[in-house]
Structure 1
Amino acid sequence: MPAWLAFALVALAFAAAATWVSRRLLDTPVGWVRCLVASLVVFSLSIPLVFWMLEQSHVYADGKFLVAWPIVAVISALILGWVFAIVVAVIVVSEFLVPTRPMRNPIAVIRDAIRRRDRARRYAQILVIASRHGIGLYQNRARGYSDELPEALVRALNEAGVTFVKLGQVLSSREDVLPPQFIKALSTLQMDSTPIPWAEAEAAIRQELRRPLEEVFAEVDQTPIAAASVAQVHAATLLNGARVVIKIQRPRARAQVTTDLDILERLAADAERRTEWARDYGARALAAEFARALREELDYRVEAANTEMIRGAIERSHSPTLNIPTVYRDLSTSRMLVLERADGIPFGRLTPDALPPEAAHRVVEGVVDSVFEQIAVRGVFHADLHAGNLILARDGTVTLIDFGAIGIIERSVRRLLAPLLVAIANDDDVSTTDIILLLCAPVSGGSVEQTILQHDIGAILTRVANAQVGENVFSALIDVLRRHRLAMPPSLLLVFRTLISLEGSLRRLVPGYDMVGRGLSRAPHIALQLASPRAVALSIQAQSAIVAEQLRRLPRRIEGITQALQDGTFQVRVRALESADDRRWLDSVLGEVTATLVGIALVATGFFLAVSDVGPEITEGVPAFSFLGSVLGLGGMLLLLRSLSGAFRRRAPGR
């Protein structure tokens, strides 16, 4: 057999054995290729050095071993052990520097590459838009920004598209986060957009129907009655004569929103890493919640379910004023919604003389009563009551449209919301402050000066109670909470923002209408509905069952405690290290620390023995102390590698 072939076979055998042992020792998914390459390189480089050392030790010369075969075997084993230790050390260092990553699915790799390309392209577009509108240039040393920045930001968001317009609209409701100048500017954001051509809209409708339009609709108006960045709406008539509207999603809207949300979530994570204010307000959580809500808005099946839920709440409240359009579920999909057409005039186009004063007051009071009951009693409400989403019919009824955004308030918050309304209506600053402190928490675990907070709230209540024209107490309360760095529950903040928007819509029909006064006057009625005999009886029944079960178990627990005290077996568990897993973890750490210390001691001892040139010799040129030092050093090295394997196991995911 040629020498080169024998060398190659030995190298491959050593590499395979070293790779297998290294992977078992480290107990982590170290790559086979990495281990094989490291083993072959170390073995190939070490062989010339090994033969040189054997020649210097007079163990090998002229192609022959000069000592007995047992000694050759012992020395060879020692040399292979050191080569193996060096291989494992190289693998460990390479793993710490560049951890092995699992082989990815080629399809996922291509998909991620496409997403990175789209994200980079979108980043460039956003930067160009921001630069065009001067974002970042409007600086002011006193406040950090100039008066032109809010308007410039609005222009940039409008041009950036649907995701950023939606983001601006959401931020416009966060009076607890942004200054009033930004809130006012962002409130002007609109979703209006240039309509897509009818041919493109028709193709999208046909794709969702999976059949020709003529088989479903007797007529479809090719000119949209509304167009936004996400969708546009066409009037149509079904074959049975029913008048409907078709809300069809723009074909490329979802792809753009997906890319934009990816960018926003990355920016929020980066902001939390770099800035304290982002960590205080939970930028990542806010971005994730915004992304979830926007993805739901893109799924019109969610909007259809929201519509039916609000219909149920209004029907239970027996409101004669509000109507909800019928959803044609069999014609609706995730990208298309077919609804009953709402006849009438949007509040945004109303003039103060649209109705006689008495009729106008009846309409707006009916809307207020129904919305307050939805919020405080039913716990579900339309969360986007701007003037375009309220349609006034000729008979004086109001139809709500566009249920992409709704609010849900859990009963525990509603139990405090009704007393809050009563306290505000009663000009009770003490109760209002106490309830707000129960509902809100300081940002980042800070503290609140309760006396100052109560003074500020009392000033608001007094001003509202004595104002000639109704002032929106909810907007003023949000401003106070922002100054005192109190974080309001998102659901309650959405309630206040919805009521602020509703008041502006109702004043289109009745200028100067005091919606807050009307709502607060209904607060006692709402509190009575929440405290109805049936609701109180059911709550008492549930709480009584819980208390009865706890009392039933109490004697047995008391008996167990007294028996343990009598027997001297009473124990108090300490949470720290109480579980077996915690104790095993501590044992493993202590064992690794001990092994590391012993390994360091063996390596140090082996080094001093290896450089010693005194004492007996095993063979000519091979001192026994040097040989023993090499053995001890190898043992110490293996112990250190064992400790490193424990570090790998703790670092591995899922451990």
Structure 2
Amino acid sequence: MLLRETFESLGTTYIKLGQFIASSPSLFPDEYVEEFQKCLDKTPALPFRFIRDTVEAELGRPLEDVYAWVDPQPLASASIAQVHAARLHNGDDVVIKVQKPNVRNVLLTDFNFLYFAARVVEMLTPGLSRSAVSGVVEELQGSMLEECDFRQEADNLERFNEFLNMTQNTRAVAPTPYREFSTARVLTMERFFGVPLTNLEILRQHVPDPAETLITALNTWFSSLMLCDFFHADVHAGNLMLLRDGRIGFIDFGMVGHMRKETWEAMARFFDGIGRGDHRLVAEAMATIGMTREKVDVDALARDIERFQDKLANLDPTSLLEGGRHDREVNRLLLDIVHIGEHHGIRFPREFALLLKQFLYFDRYVQALAPELDMFADTRVDIFATLDQLH
């Protein structure tokens, strides 16, 4: 608890490092993963004058020349950026994502120090790989610096919409970026109006069949694993919206994941095994996905997986989508799966944990919104279609 609170007090770099720990159960002890799950990316809002100064410096013109109106009260304030509602002179409603001052310099300085400290620890610790810790620091630095370049996020938005057009998917959408009003530190994009998929009361009142809404989100996300260059790696609470026109809005593409064909093929077998209740198939897939020098006792692993699935089936879905509790529940399930693998000598790559965490988020959505829906048995859910297209 003290370490997590210290990270939060140290600011941007350490908050993000804490979130990295929370999402990497294959790399860190479970007590750290659980505690850092509470590491918040919410910070006090900056005064609007800082937002104005950044936008004007980045776009090279007065704020009023670009926007007809900007709400000085932010929609959200996180460690890297602050988001404000606005309207362009042509009447388009937009949101402006504005990077906070000196974020990139702070990240570079902090991570250079962390990398140096990690190398010292590796040299002084017998038996520790020369890149065990520093490699993690390098990976995190690369992903965070990429997150600081809003041009990359604009690319992600455009590529995701291109993927939707290519697959003729008219039931999902991502915000359109306005390139002429965007830079590395300012991102102007289309504003979506609707409700998060976690707003159970409104969804149940106004959506005749919540299962159909979920199926759209599921099919879109699963198809992106193989037909898009990346997948949305943060489909928690507020990042999936039911829009007023009935489409599903995917927002916040700052965090994305990249999936190798071989990993998804093994994950497909993993999910297929869960759907069939074939614990041996699940065990074989886990042995393929994981990295191990030992021969895995697949039968013993299958028995442990069967006990885990019994636990999963007995969970109470009530209020699983309520903020922090939802995240902790997902993380606990993820830790359980990682522990089962480690008990059998399997160490999973981080991409497995990242992908599986999104799947568990969707599983929570299903249990809370449409508990009658079986993702694996319902023919409307096409988890493996894209995989079939590759063979």
User: 1:455 aligned to 271, 279, 303, which one?
Assistant: 303
- C-alpha spacing 1:500/1:379, structure 2 compared with 1 (3 Å): farther
TM-score, length-scaled by structure 2: 0.85
Q: What's the CA shift string for 1:335-364, capped at 9, x where partnerless?
A: 11110011123446x243543374333222
State how far apart, in whole Å, the 2-side matches of 1:462 and 1:468 are: 9
Letter in 1 for 2:151: R
SS at match of 1:337: strand
5 Å-filtered alignment, 1:25-424, equals 151-275=1-125, 279=129, 282-347=132-197, 350-356=199-205, 358-375=208-225, 378=228, 380-424=230-274
- C-alpha spacing 1:412/1:330, structure 2 compared with 1 (3 Å): same
Instruction: Give how far 1:377 is off.
Output: 5.3
RMSD: 3.0
Letter in 1 for 2:301: L
- C-alpha spacing 1:388/1:515, structure 2 compared with 1 (3 Å): farther
Q: What's the CA shift string for 1:554-610, capped at 9, x where partnerless?
A: xxxxxxxxxxxxxxxxxxxxxxxxxxxxxxxxxxxxxxxxxxxxxxxxxxxxxxxxx
* Structure-1 residue corresponding to 2:358: 498
Instruction: Give how far 1:319 is off.
Output: 3.9
State how far apart, in whole Å, the 2-side matches of 1:327 and 1:158 are: 31
* Structure-1 residue corresponding to 2:323: none
Instruction: Give how far 1:316 is off.
Output: 3.5
SS at match of 1:169: helix
Q: Tell me if the contact between 1:375 and 1:495 (Cα under 8 Å) persists in the aligned partners.
A: no
- C-alpha spacing 1:265/1:501, structure 2 compared with 1 (3 Å): farther
State how far apart, in whole Å, the 2-side matches of 1:428 and 1:525 are: 19
* 2:344 is aligned with 1:484: yes
Letter in 1 for 2:3: L
State how far apart, in whole Å, the 1-side matches of 2:379 and 2:4 are: 37
Letter in 2 for 1:267: A
* 2:388 is aligned with 1:531: yes
Q: Tell me if the contact between 2:223 and 2:386 (Cα under 8 Å) persists in the aligned partners.
A: no
- C-alpha spacing 1:433/1:281, structure 2 compared with 1 (3 Å): farther
Q: Tell me if the contact between 2:280 and 2:298 (Cα under 8 Å) persists in the aligned partners.
A: no
* Structure-2 residue corresponding to 1:511: 368
State how far apart, in whole Å, the 1-side matches of 2:43 and 2:247 are: 29
State how far apart, in whole Å, the 1-side matches of 2:88 and 2:79 are: 26
Q: Tell me if the contact between 1:379 and 1:411 (Cα under 8 Å) persists in the aligned partners.
A: no
Instruction: Give how far 1:257 is off.
Output: 1.2
- C-alpha spacing 1:286/1:485, structure 2 compared with 1 (3 Å): farther
Q: What's the CA shift string for 1:386-410, capped at 9, x where partnerless?
A: 2132233233333222111101112
State how far apart, in whole Å, the 2-side matches of 1:317 and 1:220 are: 35
State how far apart, in whole Å, the 2-side matches of 1:279 and 1:352 are: 51
Consecutive unaligned residues in structure 1, runs of 5 or more: 1-150, 537-655
- C-alpha spacing 1:382/1:528, structure 2 compared with 1 (3 Å): closer
State how far apart, in whole Å, the 1-side matches of 2:351 and 2:251 are: 21
Q: Tell me if the contact between 2:286 and 2:341 (Cα under 8 Å) persists in the aligned partners.
A: no
Instruction: Give how far 1:213 is off.
Output: 1.9
SS at match of 2:142: helix
Residue identity (%): 26
Consecutive unaligned residues in structure 2, runs of 5 or more: 318-328
Greater fraction of residues in helix: 1
- C-alpha spacing 1:520/1:491, structure 2 compared with 1 (3 Å): farther
State how far apart, in whole Å, the 2-side matches of 1:397 and 1:311 are: 13
* Structure-1 residue corresponding to 2:321: none
Q: Tell me if the contact between 1:177 and 1:482 (Cα under 8 Å) persists in the aligned partners.
A: no
Q: Tell me if the contact between 2:284 and 2:298 (Cα under 8 Å) persists in the aligned partners.
A: no
- C-alpha spacing 1:205/1:514, structure 2 compared with 1 (3 Å): same
Instruction: Give how far 1:181 is off.
Output: 3.8
- C-alpha spacing 1:515/1:236, structure 2 compared with 1 (3 Å): farther
- C-alpha spacing 1:229/1:515, structure 2 compared with 1 (3 Å): farther
State how far apart, in whole Å, the 1-side matches of 2:125 and 2:145 are: 27
Instruction: Give how far 1:438 is off.
Output: 1.9
State how far apart, in whole Å, the 1-side matches of 2:337 and 2:252 are: 28
State how far apart, in whole Å, the 1-side matches of 2:36 and 2:350 are: 19
Q: Tell me if the contact between 1:390 and 1:399 (Cα under 8 Å) persists in the aligned partners.
A: yes
State how far apart, in whole Å, the 2-side matches of 1:297 and 1:450 are: 39
Q: Tell me if the contact between 2:273 and 2:282 (Cα under 8 Å) persists in the aligned partners.
A: yes
State how far apart, in whole Å, the 2-side matches of 1:515 and 1:407 are: 30
